[in-house]
Structure formats: structure tokens, C-alpha cells
Amino acid sequence: MFTGLVQALGRVETAGPTQLKIDVSDPDGGLLQDLALGDSVAVDGVCLTVESQGPQGFIATVSPETVDRTCLGQRSKTRTPVNLESSLRVGGKIGGHFVTGHVDGVGMVQGVVATATAWEMTFGPVPDLWGQWQAAIAPYLVNKGSIAVNGISLTVARCDRHSFTVAVIPHTYGHTNLAHLTPGSWVNLEGDILGKYVEKFLTGHRGETSLSLDFLTEHGYH
């Protein structure tokens, strides 16, 4: 479990057929010193397990599902920095929202507009992955709701079925890889886990609505 507050930036390289090597841009910044073998780290919002460590970074194994559903493979080719966050500890501060590190799908930067106080960034579906967007991303877009973009906890300023826009403050823009993205860049997206559980409760186990007036009346609603 993570909170969507990025602690460091890194670079991804292919270390083998199923392994990625992540070099931390600031190895003395504290994140590496806090890691141990077997720990979880969110890499651009993808939960990976530390399997070996070195003075500059760590190595993790990725499954075919992870490669297919995220843009980590693309990051290793483009050398775009990745966002890093160690897992939440009991008693730690929750400054963002609950992020599981289980990416729902990928999106694409549609536009970046600098305002007087922030950067407005708009994201939409990758053209060839419209079905994935409609099934796994769009249902969990809520105005003023939370979404993780490359592992960053952000608030949806406005949205529809085709896109959503967030306002990124200068600190977040300057300390994450959002500053390295341009229109056409791919991003990992994870919807709010709370919304997914609410949807599950409302639709039941077979996709049929289980919340009805009879159900509410039976349980004391008038």
C-alpha cells in the first residue's frame, strides 16, 4: 500500500528477460537506505518487490501482466525518469490517498497548460486502447475525486468519459516525472480503490444491481 507521494526519481533499464534495474537519481536521499530485500516499491505507480540491491538502486522482476498493462517497458526504452515511493508503514502519514500499486491501465497526455499557479494536465486514452480506458479507467473518474498518475496522488479537476484534467502544483511538477512528459507520453493510471469497492457492493457478484428500495427499507432507511 502506498499514498501517492513521490520520494525520489529513478531510471529503468532492462536487466534480463523478466527483470528491471532501477537506478535512483539521488541514492543518498534516503529511499535506498530505507529499503530491504523483499520490500515493496512503487515504480511509476507499479508495485514491485526488491530482489537485489546495489549502491545506486535495485532490481525487481516483472510479470507479463505488468508489462502488458503498464508502460514500464516503454520507460526502459525512452529513459524517461520514473517516480519512486516506498510502501506505507503503520503510523506513517497519509498525505495523498490509498494507492495499491496495481495499475488499471495506461493513458496518454493530451495537453499541458501552464497557469499562474499550476500546470493543468489533461489525460485521455491511448488510441489503440480505447476499450481498456472505457472498462478500467473511465468508470472511476469523479470530479474532485482521487486518481494515481504514474503513482502520484492527484485530484481530478474535471472529467468526462473521454478525458480528465488535474491541476499540478509547482512542488509536485518539479519533484516528479510529470515535468518530463509531453503530449503523447504514456502514463500508468490507477483508480481510487474505494470507488471500486463501492461499485462491487452496488452491482453484486454478477453485475446485477443489489441496492434497491426494498433493500434500503429492510435495513431501516425511510
For 41-76, the pLDDT digits (tens) are 999 999 999 999 999 999 999 988 888 889 998 888
Q: What is the 3-state secondary structure (H, E, C) of 92-108?
A: CCCCCCCECCCCCEEEE
- Cβ–Cβ < 8 Å for 2, 88: yes
Q: Whole-angstrom Cα distance, residue 171 to residue 27?
A: 20
pLDDT at 218: 77
Residues 138, 56: one domain?
no
- Yes or no: say if 97 and 153 are a contact pair by the CB < 8 Å rule: yes
Helix (H, G, I), strand (E, B) or coil at 3: coil
Percentage of residues in the chain having pLDDT higher than 70: 94
pLDDT at 208 over 90: no
For residue 133, the SS3 value is helix
Burial of 155 (0-12, 13-18, 19+ CB in 10 A): middle
Is residue 215 domain-resident?
A: no
Question: What does the alpha-carbon distance between residue 65 and residue 72 come to, in Å, rounded to a whole number?
Answer: 11
**Is there a domain that residue 65 lies in?**
yes
Q: Is the pLDDT of residue 195 over 90?
A: no
Report pLDDT for 160.
94
- Let me know whether 48 and 109 are in one domain: no
74 and 154 share a domain? no
Phi, psi (rounded to 5 degrees) for 200: -60, -40
Mean pLDDT of 149-156: 97
Angle at 174 between CA 169 and CA 178, to 5 degrees: 85
Find the CATH number of the domain harbouring 112: 2.40.30.20
**Of residues 204 and 177, which shows the higher confidence score?**
177
**Residue 92 confidence (pLDDT):** 75
Residue 82 lies in a domain: yes
Q: Are residues 32 and 66 in the same domain?
A: yes
Residue 97 covered by a domain: no
The number of folded domains in the chain is 2
Which grid cell sits at 59?
532490481
Answer yes or no: is 91 within a domain: no
Query: What letter represents residue 37's amino acid?
Result: L
| End-to-end Cα, the chain, rounded Å | 38
User: What is the structure's pLDDT at 18?
Assistant: 87
Domain check: are 78 and 112 in the same one?
no
Whether residue 190 sits in one domain with residue 117: yes
Print the domain residue range for 77.
Answer: 8-86
Domain presence at residue 218: no
Same domain, 81 and 146: no
Within this chain, do residues 114 and 166 fall inside the same structural domain, yes or no? yes
Residues 132 and 197 both lie in one domain:
yes
By C-alpha distance, which of 124, 118, 129, 106 is closest to 165? 124
- Judge whether 10 and 22 are in contact, CB under 8 Å: yes
